[in-house]
Amino acid sequence: MSNAMHNKTLTELKAGLAAGDFSSRELTEHFLARIQQHDGELNSFITVTAEQALAQADAADTALAAGNGGLLTGLPIAHKDIFCTEGVRTSCGSKMLDSFIAPYTATVVEKMAAEGAVMLGKTNMDEFAMGSSNETSYYGPVKNPWNLERVPGGSSGGAAACLGARLAPGATGTDTGGSIRQPAALNNITGLKPTYGRVSRWGMIAFASSLDQAGPMAQSAEDCALMLQAMAGHDHRDSTSLNEKVDDYLGALNNDISGLTIGIPEEFFPDTLDGAIADNSRAAIRELEKLGAKVISVSLPSIKLSVPAYYVIAPAEASSNLSRFDGVRFGHRCDDPKDLEDLYKRSRSEGFGDEVKRRILVGAYALSAGYYDAYYRRAQQVRRLIRDDFARAFEKVDVLMGPTAPETAFKLGAKKDDPVSMYMADVFTIGVNLAGLPALSMPTGFINGLPTGTQVIGNYFREGQILNVAHKYQQATDWHKQAPAFGGDQ
Amino acid sequence: MAIDSKVVAQVAHLARLKVDEADSAALSDRLNDILAMVDQLQQADVADVAPMAHPLDVTQPLREDEVSEPNVRDKALDIAPAAEDGCFLVPRVIE
């Protein structure tokens, strides 16, 4: 059973395609059949693009036969439904965009297709990426394949769940406050949020523009390196995309890590933290010490204010970004508007769900006359304090490590009506977004049968180094190879 | 700076959202929970700290003022909820 195609990593599948063990069509049909069979229960996909996938697979087989393969030729990938895909519904998990057929394709999707990737479909997500449990999706919650009564995390919950359940071997995600790393931890997969500006945001529906960043999600760090190699790079269509050289991520995977200095921020192991969560991350750090890494303690004193700063900055940017949904140019429009204001107000109120409305209101309030200095300006000042804390730490260390999430997957519905407790799910991930740093979450063991993850945070543009650290860890351990019973072939 | 139903109505209007009166009290409570959490920001000593808009303090790039995008009017109108004569259609604004 462990030899089944769906249990293989992208790297192994790529080798299998090259060796002619199977064709991309066979591989694609296999994953489409698994989605058909199991996703009714999981709900990890919003749209499955079977016909296009098979056409791309056939083209990939032709390219491979001719020796013209790219980085991802013939490998099935699921895209988060936040990336515009020409001719395919792009809903962003919202009723607002339920009938939106994107007129163009996002750079990330385009770059991966240019390297030969096969798109299986579009994955479920929290509405407009606002959530940490995938319960705010208009298309219903995604279930966690490790326990169907529990959430997969969010907002890239569909991506993480379909990878965990082995319904796809690779998936794209986006991370504004932890939306790649927290669901990666909750589903026992590996996910990387790159440096802000490393991957183009063009065609990625905007939530909080100064924080949003796309990244790879897969079974292993090696697979994330392969995907990032195809995703990263400057894009003149995104003015925040940075014109920095793309490193050789695959080439750096096996670098020796002896002499690496790991910093442990004491704030990531507070007294209130679940002891079992702390133990799993500490055990992962000890494993890296065995491989020659040094460990020192560091402090990020301002990081305790990262959740409050984020919940001003992100809603403020969201309230501005989401003003484009007005019922006029695209998206949901109410019936029989009596005037223009009625058209705006009813279209938006019918099209957006509760959490999105709450964040728009918080953002509009924080930006309104009289409150700007107390909220928005102050949050941006605190953001600099947080960034400066990280900068001081990186004078002494190569990477920082700690738990990705403060708890394992919680029960569906447990936090749905308590936004503030939901926001705390991202307490360890948000600081990285505010600072714009790259960070990866990797599987580091279980608690009562539920996965936990540990975060590896690097300095700006050091994606290669954190992938290297995670790869070395995964060479020495097998947590990342554990798959849930759900969807098994027994 | 507590939010009540009146403030909710004002902010909802600014954001062009419609809030039903029946939901207004519960919504105020949730927003107050969020603002109470956000108020921790007031503890921070931010004297002389410049607000940070970009993680790498990068400024917007400049380019030559040349036409770079093709005309996509038909594509844009194809996905509009209502269009007529090459324009987006909205309720009458000027009598």
Q: What is the CATH number of the domain that holds A149?
A: 3.90.1300.10
pLDDT band at B63 (very low <50, low <70, confident <90, very high): confident
Residues found in chain B:
95
Contact B86, B77 (CB under 8 A): yes
Q: If pLDDT is split at 50, 70 and 90, which confidence band does A198 have?
A: very high
- Domain membership of residue A34 (yes or no) is yes
Looking at the domain assignment, is residue A146 inside a domain?
A: yes
Instruction: Compute how many other C-beta atoms are within 10 angstroms of the C-beta atom of residue A437.
Output: 25
Of A307, A336, A365, which to mutate for an interface test with B (greatest number of B Cβ within 10 Å)? A365
| Inter-chain residue contact B15 with A374, CB threshold 8 Å | no
**Residue A103 located in a structural domain:** yes
* pLDDT given at position A1: 40
Do residue B43 and residue A305 have CB atoms under 8 angstroms apart? yes
Range of the domain at A184: 2-256
Per-residue pLDDT at A2: 45
Q: Which residues of B touch A89 (CB under 8 A)?
A: none
Choose, out of A381, A433, A461, the residue to mutate when testing the contact with B (most B CBs < 10 Å). A381
What average pLDDT does the segment A391-408 reach? 98
Q: What is the mean pLDDT of chain A?
A: 96
* pLDDT of A490 higher than 50: no
- What is the rounded CA–CA span in Å between residue A443 and residue A283? 12
On whether the CB atoms of residues A358 and A130 are closer than 8 A, the answer is no
| % chain A with pLDDT above 90 | 96
pLDDT in tens, A52-103: 999 999 999 999 999 999 999 999 999 999 999 999 999 999 999 999 999 9
Task: Say how many domains are in chain A.
Answer: 1
Answer whether residue A299 is part of any domain.
Answer: no
Reduced to 3 states (helix: H, G, I; strand: E, B; else coil), residue A471 is helix
A481 part of a folded domain:
no
Q: What are the pLDDT digits (tens) for A7-59? A: 999 999 999 999 999 999 999 999 999 999 999 999 999 999 999 999 999 99
For residue B91, give the nearest of A340, A377, A436 by CB distance. A340
CB–CB contact A311 B41 (8 Å): no
Given the residues A155, A156, A241, A319, the one annotated as active site: A155
Among candidates A310, A278, A297, which has minimal Cα distance to A400? A297
Work out the average pLDDT over A463-476: 98
Report, as an integer, the average pLDDT of A392-407: 98
Q: What are the residues facing B78 on neighbouring strands?
A: none
Residues of chain A in contact with residue B73, where contact means CB-CB under 8 angstroms, are: none
- pLDDT per position as a tens digit, B4-47: 999 999 999 999 999 998 999 999 999 999 999 999 999 999 99
In a domain, A27, yes or no: yes
Task: Kindly report the nearest CA distance between residue A85 and chain B, in angstroms.
Answer: 14
**Residue position matching structure tokens 């109108």:** B77
| Banded pLDDT at B55 (limits 50, 70, 90) | confident
Active-site residue identified among A179, A281, A302, A319: A179
For B3, nearest residue in chain A (alpha carbons): A365
Catalytic (active site) residue A155: yes
**Do the beta carbons of residue A280 and residue A403 sit within 8 Å?**
yes
pLDDT for B68 beyond 90? no
Confirm if A178 and A215 have CB atoms less than 8 A apart. no
- A470 in a domain, yes or no? no
3-state secondary structure chain A: CCCCHHHCCHHHHHHHHHHCCCCHHHHHHHHHHHHHHHHHHHCCEEEECHHHHHHHHHHHHHHHHCCCCCCCCCCEEEEECCECECCEECCCCCHHHCCCECCCCCHHHHHHHHCCCEEEEEECCCHHHCCCCCCCCCCCCCCECCECCECCCCCCHHHHHHHHCCCCCEEEEECCCCCCHHHHHHCCCEEEECCCCCECCCCECCCCCCCCCEEEEECCHHHHHHHHHHHECCCCCCCCCCCCCCCCHHHHCCCCCCCCEEEEEHHHCCCCCCHHHHHHHHHHHHHHHHCCCEEEEECCHHHHHHHHHHHHHHHHHHHHHHHHCCCCCCCCCCCCCCCHHHHHHHHHHHHCCHHHHHHHHHHHHHCCCCCCHHHHHHHHHHHHHHHHHHHHHCCCCCEEEEECCCCCCCECCCCCCCHHHHHHHHCCCHHHHHHCCCEEEEEEEEECCEEEEEEEEECCCCHHHHHHHHHHHHHHCCHHHCCCCCCCCC
In a domain, A297, yes or no: no
Sign, Cα dihedral of A11, A12, A17, A23: negative
**pLDDT above 90 (res B70):** no
Residue pair A403/A125 in contact by the 8 Å Cβ criterion: no
- Output the pLDDT for position A3: 62
Which of A239, A341, A377 lies at the smallest CB-CB distance from B51?
Answer: A377
| Mean pLDDT of the A133-146 span | 98
- In the predicted model, is pLDDT for residue A375 greater than 50? yes
Task: Provide mean pLDDT across the span A367-380.
Answer: 92
| Complex confidence, ipTM | 0.95
pLDDT score of A489:
56
B1 with A328: Cβ contact below 8 A: no
